[in-house]
Copies of this chain bind each other. A is one copy, B any other.
């Protein structure tokens, strides 16, 4: 159907080996021959068949990246970082979106394996699944993104959520708040639980009793609407709480709307801290103080570790990289 290397060879009057050399090792071919082959290639509109190339070569220069949710800016930035690094190092990235569904995760792992990718970057739905172990056993390096493997039999890159909670807590305590509400998603998520741990540590470090200072409200969904409703219900008869720490920015924005709609001034009556520092945080009705994660860095680091393991499997030692988050102060906690 489409022209093959053989057609090109015939037209240029050379052997197939020579055409292949023009494609892959141009320096081995005399200038005149190379020109003739190039001419034949463009005349025929030849495009290399990568299936054949990869079959013969036995190995591909591509890695897979499976994320939980491409709609989440966090993963979008991670992907961007990983792509940039992979590109520099001569690898292509195959992007897959598991959408938090085990069936999709499985299907993509299968596809990536069939394509013989060199390695896989993944935020697994469940850490320590048999499927992933099997992949590793068969010799495909994997790196966990935003997760850690307690058994440490692969590399991983994550952000220290305990520190994030501490930063938020210390900031609010420093502003004089004595009743802090932690509005969170399911505490079964490590992320949410760790942030609470950090918050408690900050309170304890200030010489206060976490049990007295912190109040936890756990919601199932982590979006603005849920948070808005929860905040409204809560604030109907509560004037003691002067600060809210939310497990993500969407929830913080919901709380902000609830506060403004019930006539509270932010930050004077209520201080709000979010998490993630999403793009819109700075542009909210009251710009949001938030905890920023080095998202692109996560992707970059993960890709680097993976490529390192792919290229030097024998000397490679697994690492657990842990980034520190950063506090970004805006008007929702303090006006300068």
Contacts and interface: CB of A to CB of B under 8 A. Distances in A.
Interface of A: 1-2, 45, 47-52, 54-55, 58, 60, 70-71, 73, 76, 79, 83, 92, 94-95, 97, 110-111, 113-116, 134, 137-139, 223-225, 228, 250, 253-254, 256-257, 260, 280, 282-285
Contacts of A54: 51
Given A71-B76, A254-B283, A280-B280, A111 B92 contact: yes
Contacts of A79: 70
Given A50-B111, A51-B52, 15 more contacts: A45-B137, A47-B113, A47-B114, A48-B114, A51-B51, A51-B54, A51-B60, A51-B115, A70-B70, A228-B283, A253-B280, A257-B283, A257-B284, A280-B280, A285-B285
A178 B168 CA distance: 47
A140 B283 CA distance: 43
30 contacts: A1-B58, A1-B139, A2-B116, A45-B134, A45-B137, A45-B138, A47-B114, A49-B116, A50-B51, A50-B114, A51-B51, A51-B60, A51-B115, A70-B70, A70-B76, A70-B79, A71-B76, A92-B111, A95-B97, A224-B283, A225-B283, A250-B283, A253-B280, A253-B283, A256-B285, A257-B283, A257-B284, A257-B285, A260-B285, A284-B285
A192 B304 CA distance: 41
- Copy tally for this chain in the complex stands at 2
A263 to B, nearest CB: 13
A54 B111 CA distance: 13
Contacts of A52: 51, 55
A287 B2 CA distance: 54
Contacts of A282: 225
B45 A49 contact: no
Contact of A49 (B49, B92, B114, B253): B114
A113 to B, nearest CB: 5
A110 B50 CA distance: 11
Interface centre among A49, A225, A250 (most CB of B within 10 A): A49
Contacts of A254: 283
Contacts of A47: 110, 113-114, 138
Contacts of A114: 47-50
A93 to B, nearest CB: 10
A283 B134 CA distance: 44
Contacts of A1: 58, 139
Contacts of A283: 223-225, 228, 250, 253-254, 257
A258 B94 CA distance: 42
A1 B57 CA distance: 12
Contact of A2 (B48, B138, B284, B285): B138
